[in-house]
A = this chain, B = another copy of it.
Amino acid sequence: MTGEDDGVRWLAPDELAAWMSLAALMFKLPGALDYQLQRDSGLTHFEYLVMAGLSESPDRSRRMSELAGFANGSLSRLSHVVKRLEKRGFVVRRPDVEDGRITVAELTDAGWEQVVAAAPGHVAAVREYVIDALTPEQLAQLKEIGDAIHRKVDPGRSC
């Protein structure tokens, strides 16, 4: 299926190898990170990202759409997730005072404690799977590669 001259630029062996390596990584890494967080802290990676995003913000609060962008998710997804987190007591929602369309989510004390408790394990997992698996040069290369791909996939965001 790769030899014919059908006008398609199929992948050369080394290109294929690199792609397969990236593909395998893309499929396994999220699962591994999710598994660790779920097991040790009862949180999805996405839930963790949301709460971590809030924990770093002034007043531990942030508007929904901003938070969605930070966590790489749709507004709808965030809305559902925040509703669940609210039900669990980790977050509260309230309309913005200045612009009634805006909803700001705020981390509760219980939520704060939850993130603080979850963070070390998560960082350790990232370290184990990624950072400590690579040399410093590879880490620098990875950043360049990631940025290059990211620019192609999502050209709008790089402005």
Contact = CB atoms under 8 A, between A and B. Distances in A.
Interface string A134-159: 10001111111111111111100000
B21 A123 contact: no
A32 B142 CA distance: 20
A123 B11 contact: yes
A43 B106 CA distance: 39
Interface of A is mostly: helix
B149 A29 contact: yes
B123 A149 contact: no
B131 A15 contact: yes
B126 A11 contact: yes
A29 to B, nearest CB: 6
Contacts of A56: 1
A8 interface: yes
B19 A126 contact: yes
Contact of A72 (B28, B128, B143): B28
B126 A149 contact: no
Contact of A133 (B26, B30, B140, B149): B149
Given A24-B150, A25-B150, 14 more contacts: A6-B120, A8-B124, A11-B131, A14-B139, A15-B139, A18-B130, A19-B130, A19-B131, A21-B147, A24-B72, A134-B145, A134-B148, A138-B144, A138-B148
Interface of A: 1, 6, 8-11, 14-15, 17-19, 21-30, 32, 55-56, 72, 119-120, 123-124, 126-134, 138-154
